[in-house]
């Protein structure tokens, strides 16, 4: 049972005021008689003493209408809803090297960041019951989206992530510490960081080792992902005529540090060398991090307001009828 519009109950405050006003009308003569001698001898039938019933009927009818406006609803069917209850901070590198186009998307060459966005979007779609946040980092970290169940808003923030938003560099330790700080404030029982980078720590005031120790102390698990082909990767550039050309750059991922972070916090290190492997990594993390909980969920609701509105209308009809018949009075 629930009220769809509970704010309507505020109108109940008007009902007792209306009842009092009807019981105590202004004493003004509607018709003036020169003398009351003719009506004083009329016997009292007792009807006058019961006229308060008319006011009570109207007040009750109005109260029922107010509850009808609040739209009480009853669940038709109830089932157990199963979902994931994990707090996840996605931590994504947006340094300049993420422009390297050694991955493919829809059959075309694409930058690492473009592919990460597409893969993370699918990952988020499969975590309907999780609170997920997003930390972007290059030379310093930036919380692009705090933990939220509004995954549509999260994906909008992910889509707005661009290389160049933050000065270039790779602050792995600071990014890890920022993500952990966000999770520390949550009350979730299970907390996970998924950190993706294509380089090695060369910026920030916190070293990856120090950040990993702090994360471990907080009981947060970290999955680390090294993104990039092995060897050389094509990096887009412009020639003298403005045409797009590619320059080979060395892929320089500090795998030892990423492995150490994952091992220290109870997570796993993965290496993504192409789009398929990146998809497989996020799929594996999705399967590994399951924390099932059950909660009741109503599949549909049945409106109960007619059961209140109809008696209210009947009471109003009876009140009007009685006021013009049995409880009729002079003007």
Interval 198-238: pLDDT, tens: 999 999 999 999 999 999 999 999 999 999 998 899 999 88
Distance of CA 213 to the CA centre of its chain: 31
pLDDT band at 60 (very low <50, low <70, confident <90, very high): confident
Least confident window among 179-183, 192-196, 239-243: 239-243
- Enumerate the β-bridge partners of residue 91: 135, 195
pLDDT value of position 32: 60
pLDDT value of position 241: 84
Is residue 182 within 8 A of residue 89, CB to CB? The reply is: yes
Least confident window among 38-42, 50-54, 109-113, 285-289: 38-42
pLDDT value of position 77: 58
For residue 263, is pLDDT > 60? yes
For residue 43, is pLDDT > 90? no
Is residue 223 within 8 A of residue 192, CB to CB? The reply is: yes
Domain 86-290: which topology?
Rossmann fold (3.40.50)
Q: Please, is 191 exposed, middle or buried when counting C-beta atoms within 10 Å of its C-beta (0-12, 13-18, 19+)?
A: buried
pLDDT band at 192 (very low <50, low <70, confident <90, very high): very high
Q: Tell whether the torsion through CA atoms of 141, 189, 284 and 152 is positive or negative.
A: negative
pLDDT band at 135 (very low <50, low <70, confident <90, very high): very high
pLDDT value of position 45: 58
- What is the share, in percent, of the chain residues with pLDDT greater than 90? 51
Beta pairing class for 86-93 and 72-84: unpaired
Mean pLDDT, the chain, whole residue set? 85
**What residue spans define the domains of the chain?**
2-77+302-323, 86-290
Better-predicted residue by pLDDT, 175 or 314: 175
- In DSSP notation, 66-134 reads HHHHT-EEEEEEEEEEEEE-EEEEEEEE-SGGGG---EEETTEEE-HHHHHHHHHHHHHHT-TTSEEEE
């Amino acid at each position: 049972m629930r009220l769809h519009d509970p704010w309507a109950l505020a109108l109940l405050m008007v009902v007792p005021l209306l009842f009092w006003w009807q019981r105590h009308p202004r004493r003004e003569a509607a018709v003036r008689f020169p003398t009351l001698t003719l009506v004083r001898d009329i016997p009292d039938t007792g009807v006058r003493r019961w006229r308060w019933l008319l006011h009570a009927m109207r007040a009750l009818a109005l109260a029922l209408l107010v509850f009808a406006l609040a739209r009480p609803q009853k669940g038709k069917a109830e089932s157990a809803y199963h979902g994931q209850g994990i707090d996840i901070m996605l931590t994504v590198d947006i340094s300049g090297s993420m422009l390297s186009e050694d991955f493919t998307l829809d059959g075309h060459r694409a930058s690492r960041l473009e592919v990460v966005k597409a893969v993370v979007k699918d990952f988020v779609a499969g975590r309907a019951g999780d609170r997920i946040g997003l930390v972007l980092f290059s030379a310093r970290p930036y919380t692009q989206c705090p933990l939220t169940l509004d995954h549509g808003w999260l994906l909008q923030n992910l889509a707005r992530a661009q290389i160049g938003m933050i000065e270039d560099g790779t602050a792995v330790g600071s990014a890890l510490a920022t993500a952990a700080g966000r999770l520390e404030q949550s009350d979730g029982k299970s907390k996970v960081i998924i950190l993706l980078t294509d380089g090695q720590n060369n910026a920030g005031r916190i070293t990856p080792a120090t950040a990993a120790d702090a994360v471990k102390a907080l009981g947060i698990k970290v999955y680390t992902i090294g993104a990039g082909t092995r060897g050389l990767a094509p990096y887009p550039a412009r020639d003298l005529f403005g045409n797009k050309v590619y320059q080979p750059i060395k892929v320089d991922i500090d795998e030892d540090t990423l492995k150490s972070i994952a091992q220290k916090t109870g997570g796993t290190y993965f290496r993504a060398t192409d789009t398929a492997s990146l998809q497989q990594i996020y799929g594996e993390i999705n399967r590994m991090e399951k924390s099932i909980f059950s909660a009741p969920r109503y599949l549909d609701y049945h409106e109960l307001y007619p059961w209140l509105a109809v008696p209210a209308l009947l009471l109003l009809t009876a009140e009007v009828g009685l006021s013009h018949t049995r409880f009729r009075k002079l003007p």
